[in-house]
Amino acid sequence: MSKRINSTPRRDGFRMPGEHEPHQEILMVWPERCDNWRNGAKPAQKTFVEVAKAIAQTTPVTMVVSAAQFGHARELLPENIRLLEMSSNDAWMRDIGPTFVINDDGERRGVDWHFNAWGGLTDGLYFPWDQDDRVAQKVCEVGRFDSYRAPIVLEGGSIHSDGEGTLFVTEECLLHPSRNPHMNRDAIEAVLCEYLAVDKVIWIPNGLFNDETNGHVDNLIHIVRPGEVVLTWCDNPSDPQHDISRKALDFLASQSDAKGRKIKVHKIPLPGPLYISQEEADGIDVSEGMQRESGERLAASYANYLITNEQIVYPLLDAKFDADVAAMLKDLYPGYLITGVPAREILLGGGNIHCITQQIPVK
């Protein structure tokens, strides 16, 4: 049986591991929302299938799917991808699933954050979001993981842990008035330290330009290993991302992590810039919360990749840079399997491969 624990992970000796630590499986959610995914979500579904197949080379995958889509998903997905029927409002498992914490005895528990669709009634992307807010608890129930209900609104894509006491976040997202307006930075940091057992929070000023999540950290950087990150980089001074990346680099250069290490930064190129085409925009149902209009700039980032069991699954986004990024990842992760998946359809929905996946660590 699983139960809600009226304590905190830090108090109980649990910590959030780094993504580079071993995984038992990867969780995903099947897309079907027609005001976010074009053409009845059919192109996105095909892309999710390819991402799941890529991950399954090294790590088992469980795909959460609605009752209405179960048969269709079962037909498209290979047999080795497990399906789990569960309600949700959309398909961003990184943000709605539990953040897992572990202890030295191999026990695992889930942290269940409050979810409000990236902004609630202030600037959330859709309403209602009640089914998404229940996914973390349901996953813990199904997996028989005890869980903690954290006292703040937070999405999994807005935090990056190195597994050794350091957490990376952006001020733009975590201090946004649509998340926890009653709390200041110190109060939010105290909750993060208690529920993830981190000792230092590194507050990068801003996330990626035009990111509708209010600047999730996982669309700007990725932790390669403790003390080392990749940072989305733009060399064009006339691009608004240029100043954001420069500011982030200068800030990271001034920081040390929880173990006192200076942070080594690798510049990963910004794709594009990429924009929604008229044809793509025409295939999406009208929505109040989400900008899906022709010419809208997409928040495209190669940093939005998944690390799982000595494999990197990264988005193919721009023919000018895809091969260079593959070579860079091979250098950064020697001996890893590097797998690129064409990911524009995920990008059109507002995120990428890291955003649609969530890992369960091994025992």
What letter would DSSP give residue 4? B
227: left (phi over 0), alpha (psi -120 to 50) or beta: left
Query: Please, which pLDDT band fits residue 290 given cuts at 50, 70 and 90?
Result: confident
Q: Which pLDDT score, from 0 to 100, does residue 203 have?
A: 98
Query: Please, which pLDDT band fits residue 288 given cuts at 50, 70 and 90?
Result: confident
Tell me whether residue 4 is in a domain: no
Structure tokens at 96: 């709605």
* Alpha carbon distances (Å) from 156 to 115, 210, 280, 323, 354: 10, 19, 28, 29, 10
Tell me whether residue 208 is in a domain: yes
**Identity (one letter) of the amino acid at 137?**
Q
For residues 155 and 174, what is the distance between their CA atoms, to the nearest angstrom? 9
Q: Which pLDDT score, from 0 to 100, does residue 152 have?
A: 98
Q: Which domain holds residue 152?
A: 9-361
For residues 132 and 116, what is the distance between their CA atoms, to the nearest angstrom? 9
Query: Please, which pLDDT band fits residue 103 given cuts at 50, 70 and 90?
Result: very high
Tell me whether residue 3 is in a domain: no
Decide if pLDDT at 26 tops 90.
Answer: yes
Decide if pLDDT at 289 tops 90.
Answer: no
The domain tally of the chain equals 1
What letter would DSSP give residue 276? -
Locus of tokens 């919360």: 289
Decide if pLDDT at 293 tops 90.
Answer: no
Give 75-97 pLDDT, tens digit per residue. 999 999 999 999 999 999 999 99
Give me the catalytic one of 140, 173, 234, 355. 355
Q: Which pLDDT score, from 0 to 100, does residue 287 have?
A: 77
Q: Which pLDDT score, from 0 to 100, does residue 60 have?
A: 98
Q: Which pLDDT score, from 0 to 100, does residue 2 have?
A: 86
Give 119-138 pLDDT, tens digit per residue. 999 999 999 999 999 999 99
For residues 85 and 89, what is the distance between their CA atoms, to the nearest angstrom? 13
Q: For residue 148, give the 3-state DSSP assignment.
A: strand
Query: Please, which pLDDT band fits residue 286 given cuts at 50, 70 and 90?
Result: confident
**Percent of the chain residues topping a pLDDT of 90:** 97
Q: Which of 67, 16, 38, 6 is nearest to 196 (CA)?
A: 16
Tell me whether residue 25 is in a domain: yes
Report the predicted TM-score, pTM, of the whole model to 2 decimal places.
Answer: 0.97
Structure tokens at 191: 């909750």
Q: What is the CATH number of the domain that holds 124?
A: 3.75.10.10
Tell me whether residue 44 is in a domain: yes
Tell me whether residue 145 is in a domain: yes
Tell me whether residue 1 is in a domain: no
Query: Please, which pLDDT band fits residue 337 given cuts at 50, 70 and 90?
Result: very high
Q: Which of 88, 100, 87 is nearest to 25 (CA)?
A: 100
Decide if pLDDT at 291 tops 80.
Answer: no
Mean pLDDT of the chain: 97
State the Cα torsion 17-19-23-28 to the nearest 10°: 120
How many of the other CB atoms lie within 10 Å of CB of 354? Answer: 26
52: left (phi over 0), alpha (psi -120 to 50) or beta: alpha
Task: Based on the residue annotation, tell me whether 34 is a catalytic residue of this protein.
Answer: no
Decide if pLDDT at 327 tops 90.
Answer: yes
Query: Please, which pLDDT band fits residue 202 given cuts at 50, 70 and 90?
Result: very high
Decide if pLDDT at 105 tops 80.
Answer: yes
Q: Which pLDDT score, from 0 to 100, does residue 90 have?
A: 97
Tell me whether residue 182 is in a domain: yes
For residues 19 and 186, what is the distance between their CA atoms, to the nearest angstrom? 26
What is the enclosing helix (H) or strand (E) of 180? none
